[in-house]
Structure 1
Amino acid sequence: MRADRLMTIMILLQNRGKMTAKELAEELEVSDRTILRDMDALSTAGIPVVSDRGKDGGWRLVDNFRSQLSGLTMDDLKSLFLFPSGKVLEDLGLHSGALDTRQKLLAAIPGTFRGEAEAIWERIHIDSSTWRASKENLDALKTVQQAVWESKKLTILYEQADGEQNERVVEPLGLVAKGDTWYLVAIRDSEFRNYRVSRIHKAIVENETFIRPANFILAGYWEQSKEEFIQRLPAYDVQVEIHPSVMKRLYFTSKFVQVIKKESSSPDQWIEATLRFNAEQEAVEYIVGFANKMKIIAPKDLKSKVVSLANSVIDFYNEL
């Protein structure tokens, strides 16, 4: 589209200072004549573009013209240039064009800040994906996203945690990426609900629109919802003594265990700690994995359950 091309010309001239019509034509894959017509259009719109003749000539913006952002601080710059994971943008279908978005930002900010902005870009990269690529089914994401943008009701076939599937009509308010997992925030039966997009097996955008709740802020709702979910999680605490040789494993063995207390000691002494699990069975299986490097202090009845599981493993392999 011509409007996009005119904006790109402005950005290129802002970033590079001066370019010939031929250079612009090659960059934008159009003819020299098209560039000349575009320059006339920019001048008519009040953009101060001029052409310098001669060997070092070319098109430039008068007086280093910048479409500056007012009131920009260094913290603002850091926020602008700390882009989310490319995987998140790809899931949403937001692919980078020929000119990187950050190049456009560089063109728009005051010249005194450009060096700092480039430094942030070069020094920090955010990758919010997990080490192992997600295998979740995101076939419905595009349809869900359409309903979110258009504020239209959405009929979904949703699979619950127990595997049961049922159809429901929801009012989609927004999408949230947590790690590489997508959630739909929606209203159903006048209540806010969270749906894991990978469990949506079918989605149909209805023609009927809905009115978003006044003053609804997606980020604020999500933080509150997340905190309430954490508070509802069951907690099973176990006091143990841990051999120092396996302390590093403690933080990498399971994503479900939480170390809520650890008593410091000398390097050759056992370390007292309190571990928090979601359930007793999780604690039993976790502790068995550390063999003779973890002792149970409390609850005392947990010892017999760990011994029972260990014996069942021994009996199983003796019979093979």
Structure 2
Amino acid sequence: MRAERLVQIILLLQTHGRLTAGELARRLEVSARTVQRDLDALSAAGFPVYADRGRAGGWSLAADYRTRLTGLSPAETAALFVASTAHVLADLGLDAAAGTAEAKLLATVPAHARRHADLARERVLVDHADWMETREPSPWLPVLQRAVWDDTRVHLTYGSAPHAVAVEPLGLVAKKRSWYLVARKATGEFRTYRVDRIVHADGTDERFERPDAFDLTEHWRHHSDRYFAELRRYPVRLRVRGYAATRLRWARNAVIDAQTAPDDDGWANVSMTFESAYETRVYLLGLAGDVVVLEPADLRDDMRRAATEFLAQN
């Protein structure tokens, strides 16, 4: 693992020119102290890595140094050619360019690794769509894409809001088959907008200064964690048996917090957190006699009432 990390450090410095130890640590998902030890080891081994002090400082390679480590291994080649982002590229209008780039890249791959690329394309497909999904890309996605590329403001009308707001688009995120716009409002507040809920978007020529410290990946990770923590707020304790235990893993906007092994009769205890009492009731009623609500008592009573009403009306 350390040898791979040392190679990654060299390649990152060659690609980006200068990076701080903190930036390297974040990209490599290790501590800054670990990166510092790795940089010292590279320097001791004769690699021309240098530290520049000051506010604009960081670590860099000698200007004339170029590594020969950029050749792709068979496994790395296969990873590049797995078809996992076709719909994303199509939505952005980059599918044709991606095909050309793929052909150019494949032409540079050594013959012994090219077969791995062909195998990856022929035998692995990542489909992000849900079953029975029909979806058209938002007509506003090209407007947002240009604004993100050019650092220009956009006037958005979102959801049921009566007026448009001016935002500074910072990035686009594809989550499964949905697009999200991460933007900054005039107040400095960062907001996330689901693109298919945008009613109208007008591009402008008004340029803005992109925040130097903004990192889209890090921002989205924090946003997702916060969203999920706020979403899950209805804890329940259940007893389930058989296939119901598997179906609980499919529940949307819910998470299994703890689960015991099945007893001799096939029943297991499960602790879960759902989004709301209503969502919980709707999902658990579909499991019929394979689930027993232990807690909370009001959910148990609510499910009894719902089942009684259903029987009375059918």
Does TM, normalized by the shorter one, top 0.5? Answer: yes
The equivalent of 1:304 in structure 2 is: 301
Return the alpha-carbon distance in structure 2 between the equivalents of residues 158 and 97 of structure 1: 31
The equivalent of 2:152 in structure 1 is: 152
Give 1:91 deviation, angstroms: 0.9
> Residue 229 of structure 1 is aligned with which of 227, 230, 233?
227
Per-residue CA shift, 1:193-243, capped at 9, x if unaligned? 111111111111112111111142222221122112112224212111113
Return the alpha-carbon distance in structure 2 between the equivalents of residues 265 and 197 of structure 1: 43
Per-residue CA shift, 1:134-174, capped at 9, x if unaligned? 43660111111111111111011111xxx444310001111
Q: Return the letter of the residue paired with 2:171.
A: G
Name the CA shift for 1:314/1:272 in 2 (closer, same or farther; >3 Å): same
The equivalent of 2:238 in structure 1 is: 240
The equivalent of 1:271 in structure 2 is: 268
The equivalent of 2:130 in structure 1 is: 130
Return the alpha-carbon distance in structure 2 between the equivalents of residues 125 and 244 of structure 1: 31
> Residue 181 of structure 2 is aligned with which of 177, 181, 184?
184
Return the alpha-carbon distance in structure 1 between the equivalents of residues 88 and 240 of structure 2: 39
> Residue 283 of structure 1 is aligned with which of 280, 285, 299?
280
Q: Return the letter of the residue paired with 1:152.
A: T
Return the alpha-carbon distance in structure 1 between the equivalents of residues 78 and 162 of structure 2: 44
Secondary structure in structure 1 of the residue aligned to 2:173: strand
Name the CA shift for 1:93/1:260 in 2 (closer, same or farther; >3 Å): same
Q: Return the letter of the residue paired with 1:178.
A: K
Name the CA shift for 1:241/1:148 in 2 (closer, same or farther; >3 Å): same
Per-residue CA shift, 1:292-314, capped at 9, x if unaligned? 22111122232211111112222
Give 1:81 deviation, angstroms: 2.1
**1:244–1:267 Cα contact (<8 Å) kept:** no
**1:86–1:127 Cα contact (<8 Å) kept:** no
Q: What RMSD, in angstroms, separates the aligned Cα atoms of the two structures?
A: 2.6
Return the alpha-carbon distance in structure 1 between the equivalents of residues 86 and 247 of structure 2: 31
Return the alpha-carbon distance in structure 1 between the equivalents of residues 68 and 305 of structure 2: 67
Equivalent runs, 1:182-261 vs 2, <5 Å: 182-188=179-185, 189-252=187-250, 254-261=251-258
More displaced 10-residue stretch of structure 1: 177-186 or 234-243? 234-243
Per-residue CA shift, 1:49-86, capped at 9, x if unaligned? xxxxxxxxxxxxxxxxxxx9852343643443234332
More displaced 10-residue stretch of structure 1: 118-127 or 222-231? 118-127
TM-score computed with the length of structure 2 as normaliser: 0.70
Determine whether 1:82 maps to 2:75.
no
Name the CA shift for 1:271/1:292 in 2 (closer, same or farther; >3 Å): same
Secondary structure in structure 1 of the residue aligned to 2:128: coil
Q: Return the letter of the residue paired with 1:214.
A: D
Q: Return the letter of the residue paired with 2:125.
A: H
Give 1:101 deviation, angstroms: 3.0
Secondary structure in structure 1 of the residue aligned to 2:180: strand
Query: Rg bigger for which structure?
Result: 1
**2:232–2:275 Cα contact (<8 Å) kept:** yes
Name the CA shift for 1:149/1:288 in 2 (closer, same or farther; >3 Å): same
* Corresponding pairs, count: 246
Return the alpha-carbon distance in structure 2 between the equivalents of residues 137 and 110 of structure 1: 37
Name the CA shift for 1:290/1:130 in 2 (closer, same or farther; >3 Å): closer
Secondary structure in structure 1 of the residue aligned to 2:132: coil
In structure 1, the gaps of 5 or more residues are: 1-67
The equivalent of 2:165 in structure 1 is: 168
Name the CA shift for 1:297/1:98 in 2 (closer, same or farther; >3 Å): closer
Determine whether 1:72 maps to 2:71.
yes
Give 1:103 deviation, angstroms: 1.9
**1:172–1:185 Cα contact (<8 Å) kept:** yes
**1:84–1:127 Cα contact (<8 Å) kept:** yes
Give 1:187 deviation, angstroms: 0.8
Return the alpha-carbon distance in structure 2 between the equivalents of residues 123 and 228 of structure 1: 37
Give 1:96 deviation, angstroms: 2.3
TM-score computed with the length of structure 1 as normaliser: 0.68
**1:137–1:199 Cα contact (<8 Å) kept:** no
The equivalent of 1:54 in structure 2 is: none
Name the CA shift for 1:164/1:154 in 2 (closer, same or farther; >3 Å): closer
